[in-house]
Amino acid sequence: MTKRKEKWSAGVTEGSDALDLEQDVFTLDDPREIAASLKRSAERSDRRKAEPFRSAMSMLTFYINRAGSNLPDKRKKVLEQAKNELRVLFGRETASDKG
């Protein structure tokens, strides 16, 4: 039998040198919970090279981009909303700016 090959992007997401992500963070249904988890991971990391906001946003964007057309519209909408929540949590945008 052949061993199922893991995609390289899954390896990056799971074993990022910048962040130790909480398990199943990208499967959460609440954008605020996703953002809060990424924020915690970014602030705890002592291996990241960028500021916490940038590291968290980069990981979220990487996940969205790598999933590409395989990401259902509903899931993509939740993840895109998580970007806005990240901005709010890091003080980059006020709640009223979210539109």
Inside any domain, residue 43: yes
pLDDT tens digit sequence for 4-18: 555 545 555 555 555
Phi, psi of 61 (to 5 degrees): -65, -40
Return the SS3 of 2: coil
Mean pLDDT of the chain: 83
pLDDT tens digit sequence for 16-41: 555 788 889 999 999 999 999 999 99
Inside any domain, residue 4: no
Residue 26 DSSP symbol: G
Q: Which residues span the domain enclosing 40?
A: 9-98
Inside any domain, residue 3: no
CA atoms within 13 A on the CB side of 43: 9
pLDDT score recorded for residue 29 = 96
Contact by Cβ (8 Å): 21, 12: no
